[in-house]
Structure 1
Amino acid sequence: MAKDKNLINKLMGTQTMEDEQETDLETTNVQQEGSSEDWLSEYEGQLTIDMYQTKDNVIIKSTIAGVKPEDIDVTIANDMVTVRGERKRDFEASSEDYFYQECYWGSFSRSVVLPVDVDIENVSADLKDGILTVVLPKAAKSKAKKIRVGART
Structure 2
Amino acid sequence: MKEPRSFFEKLTGSARIDDQLDDSPAPTFAKASRIPQNSNWPDAGEEGELTVDVFQTPDEIVIQSTVAGVKPDELDVTITQDMVTLKGKRQRSNEVSEKDFYYKELYWGTFSRSILLPQEVDADAAQASLKNGLITIKLPKLDKQRTQRLKVKME
User: Which bracket does the TM-score occupy, shorter chain normalised?
Assistant: 0.5 to 0.7
Aligned pair 1:136/2:131, yes or no? Answer: no
Aligned length: 121
Query: What TM-score, normalized to structure 2?
Result: 0.67
Kindly provide the CA deviation profile for residues 72-91 of structure 1, in whole angstroms up to 9, marking residues without a partner as x.
01112352211001111110
Kindly provide the CA deviation profile for residues 89-135 of structure 1, in whole angstroms up to 9, marking residues without a partner as x.
11001211100000000100011100011001100001011110000
**Structure 1, unaligned runs of 5 or more:** 11-19, 25-30, 146-153
Query: Aligned partners of 1:39, 1:110: CA distance in 2, in Å?
Result: 15
Kindly provide the CA deviation profile for residues 14-37 of structure 1, in whole angstroms up to 9, marking residues without a partner as x.
xxxxxx55xx6xxxxxx97xx95x
Query: Aligned partners of 1:99, 1:80: CA distance in 2, in Å?
Result: 40
Work out the percentage of aligned pairs sharing the same amino acid. Answer: 46
Bigger Rg, structure 1 or 2: 1
Q: Report which of the two has the higher share of helix.
A: 1
Query: Aligned partners of 1:144, 1:50: CA distance in 2, in Å?
Result: 32
Aligned pair 1:98/2:110, yes or no? Answer: no
Aligned residue number for residue 43 of structure 1: 46
Aligned residue number for residue 86 of structure 2: 83
Aligned residue number for residue 30 of structure 2: none
Kindly provide the CA deviation profile for residues 128-153 of structure 1, in whole angstroms up to 9, marking residues without a partner as x.
111100000001214579xxxxxxxx
1:41/1:106 contact within 8 Å kept: no
**RMSD, aligned CA:** 3.1
2:81/2:121 contact within 8 Å kept: no
Aligned pair 1:57/2:60, yes or no? Answer: yes
Aligned residue number for residue 69 of structure 2: 66
Residues 116 and 89 (structure 1), Cα distance of their counterparts in 2 relative to 1, 3 Å cut: same
Of the three residues 121, 130, 142, the one matched with 1:118 is: 121
The structural deviation recorded for 1:39 is 5.9
Query: Aligned partners of 1:91, 1:135: CA distance in 2, in Å?
Result: 34
Query: What TM-score, normalized to structure 1?
Result: 0.68
